[in-house]
């Protein structure tokens, strides 16, 4: 789900979802699941924000300066081998 979809589900502002996701990412490391992030992408040139560390949506494409960005999508994934 995107941050916007999550914000609708839990009734908090979209920008307030991000710190929760960052916390969740840390908590999940011990639980055998992880937060998978499908990177944001530019809707004009297709540039993907693969190396972005922050979870918020970028405001503009660094390659073509276009400002319509497909937001990152978050999902949970189980590790293939649970920690022992």
Q: Which residues bind Zn ion (CB under 5 A)?
A: 42, 44-45, 47, 61, 63-64, 66
Q: Least distance to Zn ion from the beta carbon of 23, Å?
A: 30
Q: Among residues 17 and 42, whose Cβ is nearest to Zn ion?
A: 42
| Contact indicator for 48, 39 with CB cutoff of 8 Å | yes
Alpha-carbon distance 67 to 59, whole Å?
6
The DSSP bridge pattern shows strands 73-78 and 41-42 to be unpaired
Look at residue 22 and give its three-state secondary structure.
helix
Q: Among residues 38 and 66, whose Cβ is nearest to Zn ion?
A: 66
| Contact indicator for 48, 58 with CB cutoff of 8 Å | no
Q: Least distance to Zn ion from the beta carbon of 66, Å?
A: 5
Q: Among residues 4 and 63, whose Cβ is nearest to Zn ion?
A: 63
Q: Least distance to Zn ion from the beta carbon of 49, Å?
A: 10
């Amino acid at each position: 789900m995107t941050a916007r979809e999550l914000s609708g589900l839990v009734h908090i502002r979209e920008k307030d979802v991000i710190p929760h996701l960052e916390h969740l990412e840390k908590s999940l490391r011990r639980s055998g699941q992880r937060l998978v992030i499908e990177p944001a992408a530019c809707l004009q040139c297709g540039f993907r924000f693969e190396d972005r560390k922050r979870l918020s949506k970028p405001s503009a494409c660094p390659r073509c300066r276009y400002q319509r960005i497909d937001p990152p999508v978050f999902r949970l994934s189980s590790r293939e081998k649970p920690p022992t």
